[in-house]
Amino acid sequence: MKFYNRETEKETIRNLSKLTEKHAHMLVVMGRRRVGKTRLIKDIVGGNYFFVDKKSSSLLLKEFSDSLGTSLGTFVPEFANWDDFIRYLFEYSRQQRIVVIFDEFQNFKYVEPSMFSIIQKHWDAFSSSSKILLVFIGSYVGLMKKIFTEEKEPLYGRITARIDLKPLKYTFTREICLDLGINDEEIIANLYVTFGGIPRYYQLIEEYGLSDYEKILETLVFNENGVLRDEARQILVGELGRNYSIYFSILEAISFGKCTLKEISDFTGVEMKSLGKYLNELIRDFDLVERRVPVIGGEKMGRYVLKDYMIKFWFRFVYPNISFLEMGRNELVMHRVKEELPNYMGKAVEDIVRDMMARRLPFEPTSIGSWWNRKGEEIDFVSLNDRTGEIVFGEIKWKERSVGREIIEKFLEKKERVEWKKGDRIEYFMFFSKNGFTEGARGIMKEKGINGFELKDLAV
């Protein structure tokens, strides 16, 4: 599969590679598994590649020594310790420019904890006179952040560039699907809110020759031998550590729409006073959760949402059904999924539609988001400009039926609950309906100047 987007990251890597002709550079690339970190680096700069597996330190050192000799095409001495290995890299690079890649670099914490101090020592001694590009790739975001951003850590302040490789946006994921021959816009949207923008998952769809959404779920996720059946667990257990069961309970709660502290506490049984610690870590350290607040007021009305689509889907549909899957009751699980999927998709696609609406604003916004109040009233999309007094209200309906006039009227009534600059603001309206609008709805939309969008508009 070809690369999609990533142009900014490619340019960063190429520039650093050129700069190493004068002195050393240290690049850190972090991001969740399957997002394409390793291939990005290998395709752009190649180099001497070392995968830090969790094995004995002596075995890993021997493996790296053999690999180094092969990749350099020259005699390499047998290294007695890691200090000798790292010193050799820097001394070699004083005469010859090289690229050295350590993949899953955070695993040195378990294999050889002194490695971070060893690299720091030789970096401080030789970086100004060496022509080496050191690339550290890591999938455990929390641990990688700790290694390079905490002041007490040896490598703090040493990196010269950092890439946080994020999943692809919907636009580029849609391009992948089209290249795979998947042209149905609803299937593309469903795939995105199931797998997110992780290229590897779409590569699996290609390798299995799949195009039907339900067949993709059955084959890759819910089948006894499905390669993604245990995907989230494999990603998260190592990341979250020994207390992963508590984090799992919180993530499951959020996947079921439990988005306030009280709701999460009631679902998990974890006391509210204890939840803050875990939620803060899921936000700050692991980048799995975000806290959203209404775009206008309501700082105390924050809601917690999962950022990773695949992990959200797994906790909503796989994790609660593990027992049935282990019993071989796949058909029962799939039946449940099919029943619950429409409601799940209706909420999950909102971020895709919001992005589409945000690209069509009639003014330059100062704030974009959603609005809700304590009464449970909500407007899916609100964007405003504090300076000009302009505001857009948007509604999103992912239903099988066309939106009728009465729904439009309720939407117009609801926006009156928003007090921001009321009576002195310029209002615009957007409405998205997966399956279009009735004639009655179109009549009032034309009268009130409401811009209507449908499934096909996600393509632009």
Domain termination site, one of 294, 320, 349: 349
Instruction: Give a yes or no: residue 2 inside a domain.
Output: no
The mean pLDDT of 165-177, rounded to a whole number, is 95
Q: Quick check: 87 pLDDT over 80?
A: yes
CATH number at residue 422: 3.40.1350.10
Q: What percent of the chain is predicted at pLDDT more than 70?
A: 100
CATH number at residue 93: 3.40.50.300
Alpha-carbon torsion (324, 326, 330, 334), positive or negative = positive
Asked if residue 249 and residue 111 are part of one domain, the reply reads no
Q: How confident is the model at residue 3 (pLDDT cuts 50, 70, 90)?
A: confident
Band of pLDDT at residue 134, cut at 50, 70 and 90: very high
- Residue 276 in domain: yes
Which residues partner with 292 through β-bridges? 303
What SS3 class is residue 400? coil
Which of 118-122, 321-325, 390-394 shows the lowest mean pLDDT across its residues? Answer: 321-325
The verdict on 39 and 54 lying in the same domain is yes
113 lies in the same domain as 145: yes
Tell me if 228 is assigned to some domain: no
Quote the pLDDT of residue 239. Answer: 86
Report how far Cα 269 is from the mean position of its chain's Cα atoms: 28
Same domain membership, residue 453 and residue 358? yes
The answer to whether the beta carbons of residues 454 and 442 sit under 8 Å apart is no
Average pLDDT estimate for 187-213 = 96
pLDDT at 1 over 80: no
- Considering the entire predicted model, what is its pTM? 0.91
Question: 204 and 112, same structural domain?
Answer: no
- Clarify whether residues 120 and 212 are in a common domain: no
Assess if residue 55 is contained within a domain. Answer: yes
- Please tell me whether residues 86 and 149 are part of one structural domain: yes
For tokens 């923008």, what's the residue? 197
Taking only Cα atoms into account, the Rg of the chain, rounded to an integer number of angstroms, comes to 25
Same domain, 339 and 367: no
Question: Is pLDDT of 254 > 80?
Answer: yes
Report the domain count for the chain: 4
Single residue among 189, 222, 255 that ends a domain in this structure: 222
Task: Let me know whether 405 and 296 are in one domain.
Answer: no
Shared domain check, 396 and 260? no
Residue 229 included in any domain: no
Query: What are the pLDDT digits (tens) for 6-18?
Result: 999 999 999 999 9
Mean pLDDT on 330-354? 91
* Residue range 180-196: mean pLDDT, rounded: 95
Q: What percent of the chain has pLDDT over 90?
A: 85
Q: Distance between CA 390 and CA 363 in Å, rounded? A: 8
Encode pLDDT of 209-245 as tens digits: 999 999 999 999 999 899 999 999 999 988 898 889 9
The pLDDT of residue 241? 82
Residues 242 and 180 in one domain: no
Alpha-carbon separation of residue 310 from 137, 196, 329, 435 (angstroms): 22, 6, 22, 26
pLDDT band at 443 (very low <50, low <70, confident <90, very high): very high
Shared domain for 211 and 331, answered yes or no, is no
Q: Is the pLDDT assigned to residue 460 strictly greater than 80?
A: no
Write the burial class of residue 11 (CB in 10 Å: 0-12 exposed, 13-18 middle, 19+ buried): exposed
Q: Among residues 42, 24, 19, which one has the least CA distance to residue 158?
A: 24
Give the mean pLDDT of the chain. Answer: 94
Measure the CA angle with vertex 74, ends 69 and 75; round to 5°. Answer: 75
The per-residue pLDDT for 404 is: 97
Full domain range(s) for residue 64: 7-164
Scan for tokens 């590679």, then name that residue.
17
What value does the mean pLDDT take over residues 333-341?
A: 91
Q: Which tens digits make up the pLDDT trace of 103-118?
A: 999 999 999 999 999 9
| Whole-number Å distance between alpha carbons of 56 and 199 | 32
**What's the rounded mean pLDDT across residues 395-415?**
96
Q: What is the predicted pLDDT for the residue at 398?
A: 94
pLDDT score of 90 more than 80? yes
Residue after which a domain boundary falls, among 317, 349, 381: 349
Provide the pLDDT confidence category of residue 75 given band limits of 50, 70 and 90: confident
* CATH code for the domain of 268: 1.10.10.10
Q: Write the pLDDT tens digit of every residue in 372-401.
A: 998 889 999 999 999 999 999 999 999 999
The torsion angles phi and psi of 163, rounded to 5 degrees, stand at -120, 120
In a domain, 227, yes or no: no
Spatial separation of the C-alpha atoms in residues 51 and 104, rounded to whole Å: 6
Cα separation of 136 and 230, whole Å?
A: 27
Report how far residue 36's alpha carbon sits from residue 165's, in angstroms, rounded to the nearest whole number. 8
pLDDT of 243 reads 83
**Is residue 200 included in any domain, yes or no?**
yes
CA-to-CA dists, residue 266 to 140, 141, 293, 386, angstroms:
29, 29, 21, 38
For residues 64 and 85, give the distance between their C-alpha atoms in angstroms, rounded to a whole number: 9
